[in-house]
């Protein structure tokens, strides 16, 4: 792996850390607001936060004598609309599912995209090496040990989270398609406003939000909006330009590890030896997936 790919892989690992810690915030928010209300608030917050960032980056480009952000307006709007719709659907099913199942099972089922991404890639003609397939298998076993130990049965929340995993698979592949052609920060902002707008409409149709409930969930909303959304998804878009989508999904699946660790550090949940073994397998899977192919310098 060259230094450039290593740098972007580390950015994806940081993304996984942010998303993993956000599971705690999302779980707490289910006690106060509905899934559409929560997602509308956090995605719109994420979009608003990025607006001054875009202006700042444009100013830095101008001072450095660089050209404007790449990509046509049509490509940006098309990509942002596609990413925003898929993100809206994935976030809605995930937030609803967390309300009916445990955080551990939700984390495992959501992260099934590590298996679904390479499978989908094969169907659309992408090549996946043996090391990546081995990494996928190890990561799946690791997540099972980490999140599913002692839990049996499939409930409504599990089914919702599985649908969420399907949409997150689509989200990774859509970003892989559009990110090389447009500015990553702008694409991220557009997807937030599209996803937030759709969530707002769904909120008006299916929920009865009130300001007291929204204000009571202000910290989870801000955490998920600023860090999980504005920072996390933007880093994902920027980093995925230079990382194979299967490898990207493996690295981002570390969110399940970071979720368990944050639960241990922040709210006193403990990790059993079996769960620690699951964490170890996850890290081994990431290292294995990044080993250079034979015959490559």
Look at residue 296 and tell me if it is in a domain.
no
In a domain, 264, yes or no: yes
For tokens 């230094």, what's the residue?
A: 3
Contact 26, 224 (CB under 8 A): yes
Q: Is 295 inside any structural domain?
A: no
Q: Is residue 45 part of a domain?
A: yes
16 in Cβ contact with 258 (< 8 Å): yes
Total number of residues shown for the chain = 297
Residue 68 CA to its chain's centroid (Å): 28
Answer whether residue 269 is part of any domain.
Answer: yes
Q: Is 138 exposed, middle or buried (0-12, 13-18, 19+ CB in 10 A)?
A: buried
What pLDDT was estimated at residue 68?
Answer: 60
Instruction: Report the 10 Å Cβ neighbour count for 150.
Output: 8
- Residue 189 structure tokens: 């902002």
Under a CB-based contact definition with an 8 Å cutoff, are residues 240 and 9 in contact?
A: no
Rounded distance, CA 101 to CA 244, Å? Answer: 32
Give the H or E element holding residue 253: none
Q: Is residue 294 part of a domain?
A: no
Question: How many domains in the chain?
Answer: 1
- Going by pLDDT thresholds of 50, 70 and 90, the confidence category of residue 277 is confident
Look up the pTM and report it. 0.81
| Residue where the block lists tokens 């993100």 | 87
What average pLDDT score do residues 39-43 get?
A: 95
DSSP 65-134: TPPPPSS-HHHHHHHHHHHHHHHHHHHHHHHHHHTTS-HHHHHHHHTTHHHHHHHHHHHTT----HHHHH
Task: For 138-181, write each residue's pLDDT tens digit.
Answer: 888 887 787 666 555 567 888 898 899 899 999 988 998 888 88
Residue 297 lies in a domain: no
Residue 289 pLDDT > 70: no
Residue 98 pLDDT greater than 50, yes or no: yes
Is 143 among the domain residues? yes
Indicate if the pLDDT at residue 206 is higher than 90.
Answer: yes
* Mean pLDDT of the chain, nearest integer: 82
Full residue range of the structural domain in which residue 17 is found: 3-289
Which has more pLDDT, 272 or 40? 40
Cα–Cα dist 278/199, whole Å: 35
CA dist 215 and 252 (Å) reads 30
Highest mean pLDDT, choosing among 12-16, 200-204, 241-245, 284-288? 200-204
């Amino acid at each position: 792996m060259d230094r450039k790919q290593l740098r972007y892989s580390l950015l994806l690992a940081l993304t996984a850390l942010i998303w993993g810690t956000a599971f705690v915030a999302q779980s707490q928010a289910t006690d106060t607001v509905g899934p559409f209300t929560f997602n509308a608030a956090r995605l719109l917050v994420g979009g608003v936060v990025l607006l001054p960032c875009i202006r700042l980056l444009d100013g830095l480009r101008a001072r450095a004598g660089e050209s404007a952000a790449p990509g046509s307006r049509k490509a940006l709007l098309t990509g942002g609309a596609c990413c925003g719709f898929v993100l809206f659907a994935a976030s809605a099913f995930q937030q609803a599912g967390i309300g009916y199942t445990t955080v551990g099972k939700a984390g495992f089922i959501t992260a099934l995209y590590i298996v679904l991404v390479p499978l989908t890639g094969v169907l659309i003609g992408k090549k996946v090496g043996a090391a990546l397939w081995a990494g996928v298998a190890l990561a799946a076993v690791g997540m099972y040990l980490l999140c599913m130990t002692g839990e049996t049965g499939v409930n409504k929340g599990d089914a919702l989270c599985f649908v969420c995993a399907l949409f997150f698979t689509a989200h990774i592949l859509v970003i892989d398609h559009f990110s090389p052609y447009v500015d990553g920060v702008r694409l991220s902002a557009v997807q937030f406003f599209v996803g937030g707008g759709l969530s707002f409409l769904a909120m008006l149709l299916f929920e009865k939000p009130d300001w007291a409930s929204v204000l009571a969930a202000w910290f989870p909303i801000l955490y998920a909006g600023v860090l999980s959304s504005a920072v996390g998804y933007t880093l994902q878009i920027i980093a995925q330009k230079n990382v194979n989508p299967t490898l990207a999904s493996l690295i981002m699946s570390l969110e399940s590890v970071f979720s368990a660790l944050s639960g241990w550090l922040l709210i006193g949940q403990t990790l059993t030896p079996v769960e620690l073994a699951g964490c170890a397998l996850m890290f081994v899977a990431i290292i294995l997936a990044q080993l250079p192919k034979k015959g490559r310098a």
